Structure formats: C-alpha cells, structure tokens
Amino acid sequence: MSQPLLPPDSAVDIAAAVREGRLSAHAVVEEHLARIGRVNPAVNALTLVFADRARTAAAEVDAALTAGRDPGPLAGVPISVKENIDLTWSATTNGWRGLADAVPARDATIVRRLRDAGAVPVARGNMPDFGMRWDTDNDVFGRTMNPWNRERSAGGSSGGDAVAVATGMSAIGLGNDFGGSLRLPAYAAGVVGLRPSLGRVPRAAVQGQPVALTLQQFSVNGPMARRVDDVALALRVMQGWDADDPVSVAAPELRPDQVPRRVGVVRDPAGLAVDAEVAGGIDRAAASVIRAGWEVVDVDAPLLEEAAVLWRRLSCTDMLISLDPAALGQPLGRSATAFLRDSTAAARPYESARDYAEAWARRAAIVAEWRRLLVDVPVILGPVSTSRMREPDYDLGGQDAADRAWRDLWLTVVVNFLGLPALALPTGLGADGLPTGVQLIGASFGEEVLFEAGRIVEAGVPALPPIPPLG
C-alpha cells in the first residue's frame, strides 16, 4: 500500500484511490485527522472531531473492499457535517446553547445516503445561531477564521464547513443555503459550493412540527468541495425523494444537450457598485466559456431589487416568529440577537396577513420572468457578492450595516427567492490575497448544465494555491 495522499485533495480522487486499492480508508482518515489537529486550532472551523468513530467507519470501508464488496462511490471520503444537520454522533446544536443536548435519534437522509456511499464523517462544522448571519460566530463555539486573512470574514452561515474544505480538513462539507449560506462562505474560502434546486436534495425531517414558509421555500441542503466534479458526485448521492421532506422530489434532469450553449453575464446587479476584483473574476469566467465555444451575452437580472426586498421582508417576518425567545425558552446568542434586531428593523417585516399573502403572490410573477429568461440563456454568470469579503462582524452594527451586507448579496438571495440552483466557484486569487469567485445560476433542475459550464470555468481560470496561508 502506498503512502496516503497529502490533503487537500479532491473527493473524486480520494474515492478512486480507495476503491482501486491504492489507498486505505484508514490512511485517508488518519491523514485528515492529523491535519485537523494541526490546522483547526488556527481557524476554529470544526466544533467536534469524531476521531474514534471515523476510524471505525474507515475500517468498515476497508473490510468491505477486502471482502470483495462495493463500499460505495464515496469510499473513504472524509466529510464534515454542519451543526444544523442531524448526525447521531453528536447534538444538532444549530450553533445555539439551547440545543446543546439535542442528539438526534437518526441521521438526516443526506447524511445516511452519504454514509451508505462510503463517506466518513470526521467532524462537525461551525455556524452562527440558527444560520441567521452572513458571518460564522456564536456563543457556544466561537468564531471561525478566514484561512486567507484573519481580518476578513469567513462568511456564513456554512462557514465552518467551507473553511474545513479549503484547508483540507474534510473533502466534502455539508451545509445549507437560505440566503447564500453555501455560496458566500465558498466565495470567502475559495472552494466550490452548490445550492441545488428546491426539492432536489432532502432537508430536515418534518415530524409533526410546523415549518416556516420561507424555510420551506428558500432553504436547501447542499455540498461544498474543492472541485466541481466533487459536488457533482455528492449531489448524485444526496438527491432524491424523501418521505420525511414534503418538498423533496424525484427531480427531472435538464441535460446540457437540451439547451443553448449560451451564458448571460450580470456584471452590475441592479446598478450596484461592483468591486474591481469581483469584476475581474467575472471577466475571467466569461473568457473561459467563450474560449470553449459558448456564446456570452450581457443581461439584466429581471426584477432583481424587488425580489431581493421580498426575500428579506418575508424572511424577517418569519424569523421574528420562529426565533422569538419566548417560544425558544431562552435567548439567542449575543451576535445573533444583534443581527435579528438590526435586520428586522431595516427590512420592515409584514404586519398584516394581507401584505404577507400579497408578497407570496407577487413571487409567482417574478419566477415567471426568470423562467422565460433561462429558456433563452440557460446559465447566468454573476457575482456571489458585489464586494470583497468584509471584516468580521460586518453584518452587525445597526441598520446601515445590515443594509450594506444585504445589498452586496442581491443576486445571491434572489436565487433563494426563486428556488433555482446555483454553483459558486473560485476564479483565482485577487491582488488583496483573497480568492475571487463567481456564481453560475441555472434553470430548475439544471444542475448538469451548471456543472458543464463550471468545469469550463474551473479549467480556464488561474488555480488557487493548494493551501491557504493559515493552512
């Protein structure tokens, strides 16, 4: 048996090496555990490490191979699991003290599917209380640091898993995206993040408890990894109908050969100022697809500001109800309390049932506008954020800070409002030493189209250094 691959490496390569007998799952897990021991103290991305359980799971993969059984397409691949996704190995805390003892009775469907495919959970990923912020900090586990620059935010809310992937502590990070919570930390950390189409990947089991309408319609579970092929593999394992999630479906497949090879570029969402480094990343991505023979046209994102406002007002209306300390039994953490106060004050939550219902009714008209655009232009290329990653706690500090953080992400949160898939990926290192990046937005269930375009961008832009400075 050869020496283990030195992380970071791609999930596809790790699984192939284990399945072909070039590496043992045990060696892969030991290498990742050793890296966690060296790196995590500097970045605080992982909240709990499953050293013994991970070794046992790796031994089961190796035993299956020895016995001639197929261990699955993700054989021996180390994964991290965000603190709000059920894994029976620890409490699903949601980053909040009130759930410190909430150990689930069973794994979330996506965790079970990944484990059945041979993946090995090695740790939990950090997050803000209930995923509410665009930064990653809480009173239980503390702050996750950006591995490229400690003076910049790691993004949120899936910041722990993004940093774990970027620094090679896990090969796939499981997170979720209600308002950019996969794509923003992927942009910050320089990794690939997939927000799947609404319904394609099961979410938390619904067992008799009410679920806010915005959570039903805006939030999805999804993977982060180092390469486009890695998230594509993870999606194939995670996707599919689940009896416990009433929104989940057996998704139809929109294939690349069914759509025009055309990309619409949103260079300046709604006339907002776009940082020069962000614009450079968009230009590099557009040039990559042009060289591959795709047509590139400039487009305006339909009704962008209206959709972003509706997303924010609907979300804050529901958050005020679902995260009421009186209902929770104890208050949120310090930073989450400030974020909820500032964001809801700036957003003007709906006060009447009529206004709330009319906002949802308006959504249908906006979705139709985007559907018509995506028939002609099946991939939209634009920024994840119109700014570079800002300072830690940039989304706190009053209504002005809350407004600024939200405006940076108009194109990102509108994807959640519409239920569309989006793929965030890096486009090289900026002059400021931080990763640049873009997102590709597609039609519902058009993930394979996004993967084809994403592979082209990935191959056509400068590669990031293999390990961030803090790695």
CATH of the domain at 204: 3.90.1300.10
Strands (E), 206-359: 220-225, 262-265, 295-298
Cis bond before residue 157 (omega within 30° of 0): yes
5 domain-assigned: no
Report the domain count for the chain: 1
H helix runs in 377-464, sequence order: 399-408, 410-418, 447-460
Spatial distance between the Cα atoms of 320 and 317, rounded to a whole number of angstroms: 6
The two structure tokens encoding residue 116: 């059945």
379 domain-assigned: yes
Active site residue 82: yes
115 domain-assigned: yes
Spatial distance between the Cα atoms of 435 and 429, rounded to a whole number of angstroms: 4
The torsion of the CA quartet 117, 121, 1, 72, rounded to 10 degrees, works out to 0
Spatial distance between the Cα atoms of 212 and 400, rounded to a whole number of angstroms: 27
| Phi and psi at residue 230, to the nearest 5° | -65, -45
Q: Confirm if 271 and 259 have CB atoms less than 8 A apart.
A: no
Active site residue 322: no
Q: Is residue 103 exposed (0-12), middle (13-18) or buried (19+ Cβ within 10 Å)?
A: middle
The two structure tokens encoding residue 21: 């007998």
Residues 6+ apart with CB under 8 A from 211: none
Q: Is residue 399 exposed (0-12), middle (13-18) or buried (19+ Cβ within 10 Å)?
A: middle
Rounded to the nearest 10 degrees, what angle do helices 304-322 and 334-347 cross at? 130
Q: Confirm if 259 and 378 have CB atoms less than 8 A apart.
A: yes
Give the closest residue to 160 by CA, choosing from 185, 125, 187, 203: 125
Distances (CA, A) of 427 to 146, 251, 287, 373, 424: 18, 30, 11, 25, 10
The two structure tokens encoding residue 113: 């599917």
258 domain-assigned: yes
6 domain-assigned: no
Catalytic residue selected from 10, 90, 153, 181? 181
Strands (E), 83-179: 120-125, 172-177
Q: Is 260 left (phi over 0), alpha (psi -120 to 50) or beta?
A: beta
Active site residue 2: no
pLDDT digits (tens, 9 = 90+) for 21-75: 999 999 999 999 999 999 999 999 999 999 999 999 999 999 999 999 999 999 9
| Phi and psi at residue 121, to the nearest 5° | -65, 130
Catalytic residue selected from 10, 24, 82, 444? 82
Spatial distance between the Cα atoms of 79 and 120, rounded to a whole number of angstroms: 6
Q: Is 53 left (phi over 0), alpha (psi -120 to 50) or beta?
A: alpha
Compute how many other C-beta atoms are within 10 angstroms of the C-beta atom of residue 59.
Answer: 15
1 domain-assigned: no
3 domain-assigned: no
Spatial distance between the Cα atoms of 285 and 301, rounded to a whole number of angstroms: 18
The two structure tokens encoding residue 361: 């009714």
Regarding pTM above 0.75, the answer is: yes
Q: Confirm if 127 and 136 have CB atoms less than 8 A apart.
A: yes
Q: Confirm if 381 and 285 have CB atoms less than 8 A apart.
A: yes
Catalytic residue selected from 24, 90, 157, 385? 157
189 domain-assigned: yes
Spatial distance between the Cα atoms of 26 and 60, rounded to a whole number of angstroms: 9
**pLDDT tens per residue across all 471 residues of the chain:** 344 445 568 999 999 999 999 999 999 999 999 999 999 999 999 999 999 999 999 999 999 999 999 999 999 999 999 999 999 999 999 999 999 999 999 999 999 999 999 999 999 999 999 999 999 999 999 999 999 999 999 999 999 999 999 999 999 999 999 999 999 999 999 999 999 999 999 998 777 788 999 999 999 999 999 999 999 999 999 999 999 999 999 999 899 999 999 999 999 998 888 999 999 999 999 999 999 999 999 999 999 999 999 999 999 999 999 998 888 989 999 999 999 999 998 999 999 999 999 999 999 999 999 999 999 999 999 999 999 999 999 999 999 999 999 999 999 999 999 999 999 999 999 999 999 999 999 999 999 999 999 999 999 999 999 889 875
β-strands 262-265, 295-298 pairing = parallel
pLDDT digits (tens, 9 = 90+) for 134-185: 999 999 999 999 999 999 999 999 999 999 999 999 999 999 999 999 999 9
* Domain region containing 350: 11-460
